[in-house]
Amino acid sequence: MNLFIVVSAAVFLLISVAYLPLLNDLYWSTLKSLTPPVGIVADLLVRNGTIFTSDSSLPFADSMAIRNGRILKVGSFATLKGFIGDGTMEVNLEGKIVVPGLIDSHVHLISGGLQMAQVGLRGVSQKDEFCKMVKDAVQIAKEGSWILGGGWNNDFWGGELPSASWIDEISPHNPVWLIRMDGHMALANSLALRIAGVTSLTEDPVGGTIMRMPSGEPTGLLIDAAMELVTPWVKEISVDERREALFRASKYALTRGVTTVIDLGRYFPGTTDELSWKDFQDVYLYADSSKKMMIRTCLFFPITTWSRLSDLKLQKGSVLSEWLYLGGVKAFIDGSLGSSSALFYEEYIDTPNNYGLEVMDPEKLSNFTMAADKSGLQVAIHAIGDKANDIILDMYESVAVANGYRDRRFRIEHAQHLAPGSANRFGQLHIVASVQPDHLLDDADSVARKIGSERAEKESYLFQSLLNGNALLALGSDWPVADINPLHSIRTAVKRIPPKWDHAWIPSERISFTDALIAQTISAARGAFLDHHLGSLSPGKLADFVILSTNSWDEFSKDVSASVLATYVGGKQLYP
């Protein structure tokens, strides 16, 4: 009996040892299906919050795991806790809301940074305040140095346009150059005009206007291409100043939850097309190579230099680094509403016989667009007036037919005023509508005076109509024309309530909160071919996200009132 027990035990032991590897494999394969892959440890795990992903396959989650600057997985904490290991940093959101890093689809980044250190006239509502700010700047400046600034909006003080006479007496020895908030008009004092040789005999350039007194003498205001009469004389901004402007602007953007911008550069009517290239060489490549970039930047260049960009992209590709991307080319067809240079079918009510300006000859622009598109570049064209938008829609359609089908994602920047039926054409032609909601806050009080209430109500800022027509809507700010503040832009797109109003302007064109947030994240990324890397909190994408101050998604989506608590880029907290 004892011998039988011993033999049985020995046999059982031998069988157990023989099957141990199979049992071990079964155990680990079962465990692997329930937990993350063995050996992969997250650098950062964000948990216990409401994470909006902008990814339709999983719109919401409560946790997110990140490694090497990219997202490993989003989901419930139970499915992600296996990523926790030695060195994993955990962030307990305590119920806070997280959204993807916000993308501003239209900025002039270095211009914004420069303006932060100049005479800032944004929000000035009185002539006396305007003059005092210029006087204060003159008093601390060296004699002969240029006084630069911008951001003024004459509609804030009743509509009267400023003139050189406002500031001549306080700036007799300093040339002054102050750009209107839209970038399409600037005020020069008399000394600046003399330096530039602008007199009553100077003819209006093609695509520009010199504002004049009844005597024919210049008032000091130059519109669009006419600004080029003065800009070559304005002091050169040093490389160090431009680099500092980038850092200043990037830090400011991070406070607003902006992790990526589409930068249209320092290219406006009346400026040289070399500024964007100088900034690329002197500032962006420097910042990228020295590891000083703080936000991701997709650069657009003047359409006149399309072949240069095409050669560069063939040589380097579109992705220069995780921080720097080569986008496409930018052009202008008209000016702005505030400067009465946006191009309309009907005349301006307050300036009879004025229909706006073509700042570039349409045939010349069409040829540039045809060539740039044929080389594979994305094209973005500024169009504000209803006629301007139709010109570009027609142009894009003819170019697409001539060059053949491809995923080109033509862009119209602003698309502010659209004739009946034009909104539907964006979707039909697969054109990106790159719009800036906060501009409507500036225009709501003045647009009726310029083009009449009936026209304004029918064609202004048709965000919902664009979405109804299946357009790809991408939101931006146009900073420094408007402040860089995506949460405010989203609120404006949803509410459309101008300052001092108690009701929405054109309420039928309000869009949903979700549509607005999508337009500031994944749609903004798609609008610039960045959606493989950015725009949603999806596995494999760069880990850019923002933690907001609110705990309630329902309240956030209803009131759109929250502030930025922290901004992460590549899984690292860069603000605060």
- 190 in a structural domain: yes
H helices of 432-527, in order, are: 439-443, 447-451, 453-459, 463-468, 486-495, 513-519, 522-526
Query: How many domains does the chain divide into?
Result: 2
Q: 95 and 127, same structural domain?
A: no
Q: Rounded to whole angstroms, how far apart are CA atoms 545 and 45? A: 13
Answer for the pair 287, 261: CB distance below 8 angstroms, yes or no.
no
Domain harbouring 146, CATH code: 3.10.310.70
Q: Tell me if the bond preceding 352 is cis, omega within 30° of 0.
A: no
Answer for the pair 205, 243: CB distance below 8 angstroms, yes or no.
no
The pLDDT assigned to 158 comes to 85
Q: Rounded to whole angstroms, how far apart are CA atoms 120 and 150? A: 6
Q: Tell me if the bond preceding 480 is cis, omega within 30° of 0.
A: yes
Beta bridge partners of residue 122, listed in sequence order? none
pLDDT tens digit sequence for 474-515: 999 999 999 999 999 999 999 999 998 999 999 999 999 999
What six digits make up the tokens of 172?
A: 């007799």
Q: Can you give the three-state secondary structure of 408-427, one letter per residue?
A: CCCEEEECCECCCCHHHHHH
Answer for the pair 103, 296: CB distance below 8 angstroms, yes or no.
no
Return all residues near 177 (Cβ < 8 A) that are at least 6 apart.
146, 147, 148, 149, 186, 187, 188, 192, 230, 231, 234
Give the pairing type, strands 44-47 and 89-92. parallel
Q: Rounded to whole angstroms, how far apart are CA atoms 519 and 148? A: 34
Q: 134 and 115, same structural domain?
A: yes
Q: Which amino acid is at 346?
A: E
What six digits make up the tokens of 113?
A: 């940074």
Beta bridge partners of residue 44, listed in sequence order? 66, 89
The pLDDT assigned to 37 comes to 58
Q: Which of 175, 209, 233 is the last residue of a domain?
A: 233
Q: 171 and 75, same structural domain?
A: no
Beta bridge partners of residue 383, listed in sequence order? 414
Q: 229 and 126, same structural domain?
A: yes
Q: 173 and 85, same structural domain?
A: no
| Domain that includes residue 192, residue range | 109-233
Answer for the pair 360, 207: CB distance below 8 angstroms, yes or no.
yes
- 412 in a structural domain: no
Return all residues near 134 (Cβ < 8 A) that are at least 6 apart.
119, 147, 149, 167, 170, 171, 176, 178
- 478 in a structural domain: no
Q: 137 and 183, same structural domain?
A: yes
Q: 171 and 142, same structural domain?
A: yes
Q: 115 and 49, same structural domain?
A: no
The pLDDT assigned to 155 comes to 85
Answer for the pair 260, 534: CB distance below 8 angstroms, yes or no.
yes
- 471 in a structural domain: no
Burial of 159 (0-12, 13-18, 19+ CB in 10 A): middle
- 408 in a structural domain: no
Domain harbouring 53, CATH code: 2.30.40.10
Q: Rounded to whole angstroms, how far apart are CA atoms 530 and 378? A: 12
- 227 in a structural domain: yes
Q: Which of 201, 233, 265 is the last residue of a domain?
A: 233
The pLDDT assigned to 559 comes to 87
The pLDDT assigned to 122 comes to 85
- 246 in a structural domain: no
The pLDDT assigned to 7 comes to 40
Digitized pLDDT (tens) for each residue of the chain, 576 residues in all = 444 444 444 444 434 434 434 333 433 333 333 455 567 999 999 999 999 999 999 999 999 999 999 999 999 999 999 999 999 999 999 999 999 999 999 999 999 999 898 888 988 989 999 999 999 999 988 899 899 998 898 988 888 999 999 999 999 999 999 999 888 899 999 999 999 999 999 999 988 899 999 999 999 999 988 998 998 898 888 999 999 999 999 999 999 999 999 999 998 877 789 999 999 999 999 999 999 999 999 999 999 999 999 999 999 999 999 999 999 999 999 999 988 999 999 999 999 999 999 999 999 999 999 999 999 999 999 999 999 999 999 999 999 999 999 999 999 999 999 999 999 999 999 999 999 999 999 899 999 999 999 999 999 999 999 999 999 999 999 999 999 999 999 999 999 999 989 999 999 999 999 999 999 999 999 999 999 999 999 999 999 999 999 999 999 999 888 999 999 999 999 999
Q: 201 and 128, same structural domain?
A: yes
Q: Rounded to whole angstroms, how far apart are CA atoms 502 and 435? A: 24
Q: Rounded to whole angstroms, how far apart are CA atoms 159 and 179? A: 16
Q: 125 and 49, same structural domain?
A: no
- 87 in a structural domain: yes
Beta bridge partners of residue 148, listed in sequence order? 177
The pLDDT assigned to 168 comes to 94
Return all residues near 229 (Cβ < 8 A) that are at least 6 apart.
196, 197, 198, 202, 205, 208, 210, 222, 270
Q: Rounded to whole angstroms, how far apart are CA atoms 332 and 388? A: 9
Burial of 223 (0-12, 13-18, 19+ CB in 10 A): buried
Q: 116 and 86, same structural domain?
A: no
At residue 417's C-alpha, the angle toward residues 226 and 475, to 5°, is 95
Largest alpha-carbon pair distance within the chain? 130
Q: Rounded to whole angstroms, how far apart are CA atoms 274 and 272? A: 5
Q: Which of 209, 233, 257 is the last residue of a domain?
A: 233
Nearest to 546, CA basis, from 253, 325, 237: 253
Neighbour count for residue 183 (Cβ, 10 Å): 27
Q: Rounded to whole angstroms, how far apart are CA atoms 175 and 189? A: 6
Q: 175 and 218, same structural domain?
A: yes
